[in-house]
Amino acid sequence: MISSSSEQLKVKVSHLTEGDADFRNQFLSWDLGNLTLTDIGNYLRVKDTILVPIASLEQHGPHLPLYTDTITAVEVSRRVAEHIAVLHSPPIWMGYSPQHMHKPGLGRGTITMRSSTLLAIMYDTARSLIHHGFNRIIFINGHGSNIKVVDPVLRQLRYETGALIGFVKPYMERYTGILKGLMENPPEETPGWHASELETSQDMAWNSDLVRMERASFTKAHIPESLPQSFGKKDGMPDVEFEGYTYFNFPMDHHEFIESGVIGNPLRATKEKGEEAFKRLSEHTARGVLELMNIEVNVHTREFINRV
């Protein structure tokens, strides 16, 4: 299945634009921050799509860096950009992570944005890009909790400008999706969760020197002491189980249901799994973005008037 999807991708890339090889040769990088204004103008004469990686800077237990979620967003964006010759912006590395702060003075390191701050950053980023001539803004999200707060700004951008605004979440929590069969851990060991098998594998693929496996351990989530023990909790979602169902949600901090910061078993992680995960996620996302580049988009409000 993987080779088939790769072949599909190659075929679509080869027909993306006339003279695509010449187009690619104009650019030293697909990272907006590495280019000049001349490069941006040349790009926009041919294409109008840009990816915006967005994630968080938050604790990932004793063995993974705080940058973990942003690694996912940046690496998927980088690979998609290389696959289909589109630009990506530098990452929005801050995210909505109030549950990872813990008590004052404990040195966890998480930097969280209030929801209003994060939405303002996303808005200003997208409006700046639309102002310059980009019509398709695709946020590549690497942090689950951002999903809780982003809908208002995505809608505002669409309604105000007419631009195509997308939000992609290429990672695995409860939803296995395209990564089916890749992780060894069974579901009860939550392979897609916080600092577990998948994230540890991806960080190894990114830079194994940043992963401290001698500190890694298998830990399970539990119901917070503040809730009845007749309730149950298995992962980092805000819902909890009661009588076998998950109708109840509570605002919980991470340390209330997992002291170590690690939800699951990272001990079966490998660099090879991380590389394969990035490959599957980026190729799938690239195919989707290619489809989005084929539809008509009419931006009716481009100037970022309220930029001050």
- Distance (Å, whole) CA 200 – CA 278: 12
SS3 221: coil
Length of the chain: 308
At residue 21, the pLDDT reads: 83
Which residue type sits at 208? S
Tell me what pLDDT residue 200 has: 98
* Res 238: pLDDT: 93
What does the block give as tokens for 298? 């009419």
In a domain, 131, yes or no: yes
Taking the C-alpha atoms of residue 151 and residue 128, their distance in angstroms, rounded to an integer, is 19
pLDDT in tens, 40-83: 999 999 999 999 999 999 999 999 999 999 999 999 999 999 99
How do residues 103-113 score in pLDDT, each as one tens digit? 999 999 999 99
Rounded Cα distance between 140 and 84, Å, is: 15
d(CA 270, CA 201): 5
8 A C-beta contact, residue 282 and residue 53:
no
Would residue 89 count as lying in a domain? yes
Domain that holds residue 87: 2-171+278-292
Each residue of 3-42: pLDDT tens digit? 334 444 444 444 444 457 889 999 999 999 999 999 999 9
Asked if residue 188 is part of any domain, the answer here is: no
pLDDT of residue 22: 85
- 260 found inside a domain: no
User: Looking at residue 16, what is its pLDDT?
Assistant: 42
Count of domains forming the chain: 1
Q: How far apart are CA 289 and CA 283, in angstroms?
A: 10
CATH code of the domain covering residue 36:
3.40.50.10310
* Percentage of the chain exceeding pLDDT 70: 94
**Phi and psi of 186, rounded to 5°?**
-70, 165
Q: Could you tell me if residue 143 is inside a domain?
A: yes
Say yes or no to pLDDT of 303 above 60.
Answer: yes
Q: Tens digits of per-residue pLDDT, 219-260? A: 999 999 999 999 999 999 999 999 999 999 999 999 999 999
* pLDDT of res. 12: 45
Domain assignment of residue 145, yes or no: yes
pLDDT of the residue at 5: 42
Report the pLDDT value the prediction gives residue 3, as an integer from 0 to 100: 35
CA distance 24 to 85: 6
